[in-house]
Amino acid sequence: MRVLGLDPGSRRTGFGVVEKRGNRLQALCHGCLVPPAKAELPQRLAFLAAGAADVMERFAPDCVVVEEAFYHENVRSTLVLGHVRGALIVTAVQREHAVAEYSPREIKMSVTGNGGATKEQVGFMVQRLLGIPDALQADAADALAGAICHLNRAGLQLPRRTSTAAKQLQALLARAAR
């Protein structure tokens, strides 16, 4: 099974593709999509969607994991994050990929055993689990952790939490295609 993990952010979106064969996990690619710093939000969303689409087309994941939003005290930050998540989910649904969502706490728990783990702890465990020798960018590590979380749950035959937003978008796109 091959999973693309996405750690959404309007200034930097982490991505990572992890494949599971038997009990072995392997990172196929990882990095960050970084739109031009002075770009307006619509242009940043288009850049991030195009970059995610490129990764989806190159690696053909069985599922795309998008980290759920956490709530900032700054309402604007939360709203912008929602826009980014929406653009990434639409990109996946348009390519007929299954979409799953996990909270940051669920992802941290799955990878480190501690739902309150620091970014450094997540990065360290992702490196260990995937045998990556070099330090990872924090956003790429979080994206890989999301993919690992999904693969761990799939390995236990737990039901995948399919995004409600993705289901609603699929239904809307199906109606529009008629």
67 catalytic residue (yes or no)? yes
At residue 174, the pLDDT reads: 76
At residue 163, the pLDDT reads: 64
At residue 72, the pLDDT reads: 67
Residue 162 to residue 2: CA distance in whole angstroms: 16
Handedness of CA 83, 85, 88, 94 (dihedral sign): negative
Tens-of-pLDDT digits for all 178 residues of the chain? 999 999 999 999 999 999 999 889 999 999 999 999 999 999 999 999 999 999 999 999 999 999 998 766 778 888 999 999 999 999 999 999 999 999 999 999 999 999 999 999 999 999 999 999 999 999 999 999 999 999 998 855 444 455 677 777 777 777 777 7
What domain range includes position 91?
2-177
At residue 52, the pLDDT reads: 98
| Residue from 7, 68, 101, 142 carrying the catalytic annotation | 7
As given in the structure block, the two tokens for residue 2 are: 């091959």
7 catalytic residue (yes or no)? yes
19 catalytic residue (yes or no)? no
| Residue from 68, 101, 139, 142 carrying the catalytic annotation | 139
Task: Give me the number of domains the chain comprises.
Answer: 1
At residue 175, the pLDDT reads: 79
| Residue from 40, 67, 106, 120 carrying the catalytic annotation | 67
pTM of the model as a whole:
0.86
Separation of CA 32 from chain center: 11
CATH of the domain at 34: 3.30.420.10
At residue 157, the pLDDT reads: 46
As given in the structure block, the two tokens for residue 59 are: 């690696």
